[in-house]
Amino acid sequence: MSQPTGPASQGHAHKQPAPPPEAMPEAMPEAMDVTLAINGSRKTLRVAPWTSLLDALRLHLDLTGTKKGCDHGQCGACTVLVDGRRINSCLTLAVMAEGRTVTTIEGLASGDALHPLQEAFVEQDAFQCGYCTPGQICSAVGLLEEGHAKSDDDIRELMSGNLCRCGAYPNIVAAIRQVMDAQPSAKDGGAP
C-alpha cells in the first residue's frame, strides 16, 4: 500500500480562495439607535447591537427596579413585560424590543396608586430582602393576564421561573391569589 503524497499528506489543507469583497458581510456597527416604548414614554438610545434589554433599562435609562440576578435567564429577577408578555430581559437584546411596549416595575403604578399586585405583595408580606420582588410582580402581572392559573398549584408552576432566595413563596402565592380572586370572572359578567 502506498503512502499519499502531496500537500494534504504533509498536514497542509487545500486553501479555498477568499470570497470577493462584495460577498463579505458588513462589519457589525459599534452602536446603533434604538427607540423603545417604555412605561408609556418613547426613548431613543444609542447602544451596541449586543446590549441586553436589561442593561439598556438599568444602565442607559436608570430604571434600576429591574434586577440583574443570574444574567443567564434562570432566576427571573430581570422579568419585565413586553407587549404584555413576561420575558427575561437579560436574554433579550434591546434591539428586539424596538416597536414593542415594555413595562417595568416602575411602570405598573399609576402615580401614587400602586398596582393591585404591588399592594397585595405589601399586604401579604410577600418579600423579604426584596431583590426578586420586581421580577416576581412583573411575572405575576403576566401570569394573571395569561389567565391559565386556576389554583395555588397552577400559580406555583407558572411562577417557577422566578426564584426567591429568601423563600417567601407561600406569601407570593397568597398575594397572587388575592388579586386573582378579586378579578371579575366570566360568570360575574367580567372578562374571562
CA torsion through residues 50, 74, 43, 35, sign: positive
Q: Which helix (H) or strand (E) holds 169?
A: helix 169-182
Cα 11 to chain centroid distance, Å, stands at 48
β-strands 101-103, 79-82 pairing: antiparallel
Predicted confidence band of residue 102 (pLDDT cuts 50, 70, 90): very high
Full set of structural domains in the chain with CATH = 32-183 (3.10.20.30)
Choice among 4-8, 153-157, 171-175 with the minimum mean pLDDT: 4-8
pTM of the model: 0.82
Query: And the C-alpha cell for 71?
Result: 444574567
pLDDT tens per residue across span 24-71: 567 777 899 999 999 999 999 999 999 999 999 999 999 999 999 999
What's the pLDDT at 27? 72
CA dist 88 and 54 (Å) reads 8
- Residue that is written with C-alpha cell 406569601 in the block: 171
CA dist 92 and 78 (Å) reads 10
CA dist 165 and 7 (Å) reads 60
